[in-house]
């Protein structure tokens, strides 16, 4: 299995110092548009090659092909539309061929969009195809319906990169991770996607994967997630403590993923695999309900979707894991594939139960989470309560 970027080439849309100087001299002639956090995240991922082969926001042919066929218009596998929306009124201000200055939430210059197309789209169709629901309680669908009714397509050039000050030492681009993996001599690298603190079940499947791969790439999302997800700063502390105490440090790399969670279940599982392929991974861990939320997706749908694609064409090996737990009779971590015992012998806690225990400053069982991790989460819960006067 090679670890070539998706489409064969790692994209870089960050302008040179000379181009940046020219931009500064001419920026006042440009029309502008403000980006939300999801769009800013997409701009960053496009510019550093995380979304290779995309060089900008999708034009209509690619958008329709992704919605209908889970492929770009050139036939390359791609499952999530990467789009920039605006209102009809604002879209009328732009002409094809315009250079549009993209601004962040503070009005700072981020990138230039070379406008190739502007087109209307069917939000209901996108919701049904990508998210399998039109229910606005679904966070991805809610975001979709809050967008403008016109999409702007075209390549981008980034003029100001996000510094990620909170996580600067863990900020690695796909070019940098690929170089690092090569320096370590790793031929096979397994990627792990997460938006949650790592608990014993995660640790178990990571170490199972590490038995067959040279290195483990823990790659937590630090872009926008649901409001009730554990904050990225807290999650990173958990990863640091776990790696320090329970992992072979020479076989693990921890880096942030600036991407935005869409909670698109099966389609996002494929998308996450492609992103890790761009970062240099040869293998990718796929859990039972990867990128899921609520009850919108069936059991193991996120794994079944991989069978719809030729493995060689996808170019990264998925590693499927069932729900894991601690079995009191086995005396270790297991899954239904390896454990013959009854439910009452298994320690399985719901997210709701864990949150309740943390709020009450009660340590979850050591079979569920490491004490060091539980302590960090309890302290974070106490701080949140204090900050909000709960």
Catalytic amino acids?
A: 195-196
Residues in the chain: 390
Per-residue DSSP letters for 206-223? Answer: HHHHHTTSSEEEEEEB-S
What CA–CA distance (Å, rounded) separates 175 from 93? 37
Q: What share of the chain is helix, strand, coil (3-state, %, to 5)?
A: 40, 20, 40
**Would you call 116 exposed, middle or buried from its count of C-beta atoms within 10 A (0-12, 13-18, 19+)?**
middle
Instruction: Calculate the dihedral angle through the C-alpha atoms of 81, 130, 148, 58, rounding to the nearest 10 degrees.
Output: 10
Report which secondary-structure segment, H or E, holds 347.
strand 346-347
Neighbour count for residue 296 (Cβ, 10 Å) = 19
Please provide residue 59's backbone torsions phi and psi, each rounded to the nearest 5 degrees.
-85, 175
- Rg from Cα positions in the chain: 22
In contact, 324 and 330? CB cutoff 8 Å: no
Please state the separation of Cα 153 from the chain's center in Å.
Answer: 22
What CA–CA distance (Å, rounded) separates 85 from 144? 10
Cα angle value 221/144/297 (rounded, 5°)? 65
What CA–CA distance (Å, rounded) separates 248 from 216? 10
Report which secondary-structure segment, H or E, holds 280.
none
What CA–CA distance (Å, rounded) separates 87 from 103? 16
Cα angle value 234/236/241 (rounded, 5°)? 100
Which stretches of 51-108 are assigned E, i.e. beta strand? 56-57, 84-86, 99-103
Closest to 223 measured CA to CA, from 377, 37, 80: 37
């Amino acid at each position: 299995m090679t670890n070539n970027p998706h489409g064969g080439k790692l994209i870089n849309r960050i302008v040179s110092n000379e181009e940046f100087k020219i931009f500064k001299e001419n920026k006042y002639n440009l029309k502008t548009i403000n980006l939300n956090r999801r769009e800013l995240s997409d701009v960053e991922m496009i510019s550093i090659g995380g979304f290779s082969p995309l060089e900008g926001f999708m034009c209509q042919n690619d958008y329709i092909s992704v919605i209908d066929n889970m492929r770009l218009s050139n036939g390359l596998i791609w499952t999530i539309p990467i789009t920039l929306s605006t209102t009809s009124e604002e879209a009328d201000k732009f002409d094809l061929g315009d250079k549009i200055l993209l601004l962040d939430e503070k009005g700072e210059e981020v990138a230039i969009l070379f406008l190739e197309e502007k087109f209307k789209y069917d939000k209901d169709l996108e919701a049904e195809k990508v998210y399998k629901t039109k229910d606005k309680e679904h966070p991805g669908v809610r975001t979709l319906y809050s967008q403008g009714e016109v999409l702007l397509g075209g390549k981008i050039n980034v003029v100001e990169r996000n510094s990620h000050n909170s996580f600067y030492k863990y900020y690695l681009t796909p070019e940098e991770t690929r170089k690092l993996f090569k320096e370590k001599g790793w031929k096979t690298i397994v990627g792990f996607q997460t938006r949650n603190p790592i608990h014993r079940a995660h640790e178990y499947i990571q170490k199972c994967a590490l038995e067959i791969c040279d290195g483990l790439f823990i790659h937590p999302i630090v872009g926008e997630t649901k409001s009730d997800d554990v904050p990225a700063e807290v999650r990173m502390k958990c990863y640091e403590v776990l790696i320090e105490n329970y992992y072979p440090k020479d076989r693990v790399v921890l880096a942030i993923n600036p991407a935005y969670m869409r909670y698109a279940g099966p389609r996002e599982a494929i998308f996450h695999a492609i992103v890790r392929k761009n970062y240099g991974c040869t293998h990718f861990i796929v859990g039972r309900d990867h990128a899921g939320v609520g009850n919108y997706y069936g059991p193991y749908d996120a794994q079944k979707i991989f069978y719809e694609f030729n493995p060689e064409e996808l170019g990264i090996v998925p590693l499927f894991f069932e729900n894991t737990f601690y079995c009191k009779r086995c005396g270790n971590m297991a899954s239904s594939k390896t454990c013959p015992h009854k439910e009452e012998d298994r320690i399985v806690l719901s997210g709701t139960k864990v949150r309740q225990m943390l709020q009450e400053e009660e340590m979850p069982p050591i079979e569920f989470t490491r004490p060091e991790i539980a302590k960090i989460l309890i302290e974070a819960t106490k701080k949140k309560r204090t900050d909000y006067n709960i």
